[in-house]
Amino acid sequence: MAGIARAERLIVALDVATSGEARALVERLGDAARFYKVGLELFMAEGYFELVDWIVRRGNKVFVDLKFFDVPETVRRAVANLRGRGITFATVHGNQAMMQAAAKEKGEVKILAVTVLTSLDRGDLDDLGFSCDLERLVLSRARRAMEAGCDDYDTKPVEISRLVRKIAALLKPKVN
């Protein structure tokens, strides 16, 4: 956790139905929290960007968790629309071209690539055509995210320390 301010190590998920409820929660937490995740449920509610802007104006950080997944040009334009709003993180959940498009337009927004949704089980992965085991899939998706220019990845809690060591070894420059 070195380099991350103590007050920013906790990201509070604003998983509520309305922006009014989200504002009330932020106000109730006061200085106890400084970083907020604003996801898809609130995106579909009225006032999403007004809420994001309000949180940023309060001096807090925002993690836009929308898991962009669309054709690369649409992902690129969506990420470009986040720039200049004071957003710290945004998520993308897609293939190499989608991740590259997001990374290309990120500006000051850090892009987190989602490796595998936590709700997916082995049956879901089989249905989607992923025949490898979960660890191999997560490792592959994390490696590809870093190669695509994403800033980090969001992964299922499967042997995280082992995964980090593997990714670091893969990205380490080879010495001849």
Residue 142 in tokens: 């994390």
Distances, alpha carbon 29 to alpha carbons 12, 13, 36, 40, 136, in Å: 10, 12, 11, 21, 39
First to last CA, the chain: 33
Q: Is 67 a catalytic residue?
A: yes
- Tokens 């690369």 map to which residue? 72
- Which is the catalytic residue, given 37, 61, 67, 166? 67
Q: Determine contact, residues 59/26, Cβ cutoff 8 Å.
A: no
Q: Which residue numbers are catalytic?
A: 67
